[in-house]
């Protein structure tokens, strides 16, 4: 395949490529700026190795820096700026980039000479470079460390072919039109954001970058700029809805889709979206599959609360007979984890299907529901219990701020569910039990409610249930 940056500069030179709210670049200008930056990266000896790490927010310069690395034929190692020094050090020591480029505002005193501020690059005198002519399908474009909720982070490798397959499957579901513009407020160092960048280069579509999630700003952008699509997580969607209550100015006419990742939405939120004519597509995917592999379209949403819809084109999806684990085949699947091929091989079953680690079920019309993580599943007296379901049952109690459920070993039942609760109020065990029995099968109700000051979470804010288990 042609280098996508060069390709769009050739076929759509005058089309908008990127807009951060202050600067707009066409695809021709994008190519010029990326070439200039590539020359500066070379001058700074950053292009000597195979990989370059980047740590940035969704800024224009961060976006350009990433494309300069790709355009020079190097692999991006995306670093989450929320990580601790130790976590960053582990990822860099695993991926061995020539350098880690850091947005100036994220630079830390603790960083050594491996870390290079963006301004050091942009202050270089560019040397002459030619961008690579091709983006070969099998070449690794990006590496993202999945924080996971257990164990050592794994560097997920994503090839250009993976990104193309993902962007293609998305097209056949959401549609694509010349003039589309995708608002990117989710981090470009996660697959949710980086896949928007890749779709931009593949479709010849504009990216509207928003530096961080600011509901008021985004509501304003959706009202006044020709955005067709925005990627959101449930929290963002709910915040955006609040602004819709106060203001009836509609979004621009070509607004077509809120692509929701990170879990399904509840019925009240969905109803609000419908009242305000906001089409929501609920999706399911992971870093290992280069973004969404399954989607529930707006028209089906009402009757399928909690579902993530049906597998996209190019995705084959089935459930393991043994334990209902979601198994997939897709050309968007990572070729593996960096330096940990054995760990990746363990995630393939004996017929080559990728084991997602999620447990799911289909309804009678073939809509998929994700029940929870296989690792989190509690088996009690032969029954499966998913912490998510139990936690959701307690979510609306005023005396519970946060709750996490894990399995505790039990001589009689094998395991029993146990809850950790963050609360300012005293906990009434009997009342909590009675409450749960009204909402859940009895075996799903936690046998104990344990107060805790704070739930342990990882860098992306997911509860680390394995740490709670260690407390038992």
| Site residues (vs its own copies, CB under 8 A) | 1-2, 7, 10-11, 134, 168, 171-172, 175-178, 202-204, 297, 310-314, 316, 366
- Taking the complex as a whole, the smallest distance from the CB of residue 338 to its own copies amounts, in Å, to 26
Nearer to its own copies, 205 or 393 (CB): 205
Q: Give the C-alpha separation, 225 to 208, whole Å.
A: 9
Pseudo-torsion of CA 429, 433, 435, 440, nearest 10°? 150
Token couple for 305: 């609360």
- Taking the complex as a whole, the smallest distance from the CB of residue 10 to its own copies amounts, in Å, to 6
Nearer to its own copies, 172 or 235 (CB): 172
Among residues 159, 122, 123, which one has the least CA distance to residue 144? 159
Nearer to its own copies, 178 or 426 (CB): 178
8 Å CB contact between 57 and 104: no
For 151, 171, 370, 445, the CA distances from 438, given in Å and listed in that order, are 36, 44, 23, 10
Other CB atoms within 10 A of residue 370 CB: 20
- Taking the complex as a whole, the smallest distance from the CB of residue 251 to its own copies amounts, in Å, to 18
Nearer to its own copies, 201 or 222 (CB): 201
Residue with tokens 């992971």: 286
Q: Give the C-alpha separation, 334 to 145, whole Å.
A: 12
Q: What stretches of 255-359 show up as alpha helix (H) in DSSP?
A: 267-275, 298-301, 341-345
- Taking the complex as a whole, the smallest distance from the CB of residue 441 to its own copies amounts, in Å, to 31
8 Å CB contact between 416 and 407: yes
- Taking the complex as a whole, the smallest distance from the CB of residue 16 to its own copies amounts, in Å, to 15
8 Å CB contact between 294 and 309: yes
Nearer to its own copies, 62 or 204 (CB): 204
Nearer to its own copies, 134 or 410 (CB): 134
- Taking the complex as a whole, the smallest distance from the CB of residue 7 to its own copies amounts, in Å, to 6
8 Å CB contact between 39 and 129: yes
Q: What residues contact residue 435 under an 8 Å CB cut-off, 6+ apart?
A: 394, 397
- Taking the complex as a whole, the smallest distance from the CB of residue 340 to its own copies amounts, in Å, to 28
Token couple for 31: 């190519």
Q: Give the C-alpha separation, 360 to 369, whole Å.
A: 5
- Taking the complex as a whole, the smallest distance from the CB of residue 179 to its own copies amounts, in Å, to 9
Nearer to its own copies, 366 or 382 (CB): 366
Q: Give the C-alpha separation, 94 to 86, whole Å.
A: 12
Nearer to its own copies, 204 or 417 (CB): 204
- Taking the complex as a whole, the smallest distance from the CB of residue 351 to its own copies amounts, in Å, to 13
Among residues 113, 108, 107, 51, which one has the least CA distance to residue 339? 51
Nearer to its own copies, 297 or 423 (CB): 297
């Amino acid at each position: 395949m042609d280098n996508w940056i060069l390709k769009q500069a050739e076929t759509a030179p005058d089309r908008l490529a990127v807009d951060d709210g202050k600067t707009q670049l066409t695809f021709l200008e994008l190519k010029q700026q990326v070439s200039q930056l590539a020359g500066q990266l070379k001058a700074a000896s950053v292009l000597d190795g195979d990989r370059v790490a980047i740590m940035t927010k969704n800024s224009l310069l961060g976006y350009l820096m990433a494309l300069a690395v790709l355009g020079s034929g190097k692999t991006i190692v995306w670093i989450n700026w929320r990580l601790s020094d130790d976590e960053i050090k582990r990822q860099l020591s695993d991926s061995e980039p020539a350098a880690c480029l850091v947005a100036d505002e994220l630079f830390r005193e603790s960083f050594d000479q491996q870390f290079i501020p963006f301004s050091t690059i942009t202050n270089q005198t560019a040397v002459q470079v030619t961008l690579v002519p091709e983006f070969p399908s099998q070449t690794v474009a990006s590496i993202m460390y999945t924080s996971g909720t257990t164990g050592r982070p794994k560097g997920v490798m994503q090839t250009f072919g993976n990104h193309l397959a993902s962007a293609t499957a998305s097209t056949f579901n959401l549609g694509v039109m010349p003039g589309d513009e995708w608002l990117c407020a989710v981090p470009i160092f996660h697959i949710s954001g980086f896949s928007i960048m890749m779709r931009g280069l593949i479709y010849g579509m504009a990216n509207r970058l928003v530096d961080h999630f600011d509901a008021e700003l985004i509501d304003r952008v959706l009202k006044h700029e020709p955005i067709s699509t925005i990627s959101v997580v449930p929290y963002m969607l709910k915040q955006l809805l609040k602004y819709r209550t106060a203001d009836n100015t509609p979004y621009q006419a070509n607004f077509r889709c809120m692509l929701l990742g990170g879990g399904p939405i509840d019925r009240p939120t969905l109803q609000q979206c419908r009242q305000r004519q906001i089409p929501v597509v609920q999706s399911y995917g992971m870093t290992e599959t280069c973004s969404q592999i399954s989607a529930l379209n707006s028209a089906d949403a009402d009757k399928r609360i909690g579902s993530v819809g049906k597998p996209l084109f190019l995705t084959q999806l089935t459930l393991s007979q043994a334990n209902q684990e979601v198994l997939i085949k897709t050309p968007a699947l990572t070729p593996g984890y960096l330096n940990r091929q054995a760990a990746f091989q363990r995630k393939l079953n004996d017929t080559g299907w990728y084991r997602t680690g999620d447990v799911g079920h289909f309804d009678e019309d073939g809509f998929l529901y994700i029940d929870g993580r296989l690792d989190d599943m509690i088996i009690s007296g032969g029954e499966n219990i998913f912490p998510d379901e139990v936690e959701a049952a307690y979510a609306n109690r005023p005396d519970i701020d946060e709750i996490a459920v894990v399995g505790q070993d039990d001589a009689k039942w094998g395991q029993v569910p146990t809850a950790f609760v963050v609360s300012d109020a005293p906990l009434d065990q009997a009342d909590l039990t009675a409450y749960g029995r009204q909402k859940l099968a009895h075996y799903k109700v936690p046998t104990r409610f344990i107060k805790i000051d704070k739930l342990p979470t990882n860098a992306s804010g997911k509860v680390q249930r394995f740490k709670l288990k260690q407390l038992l």
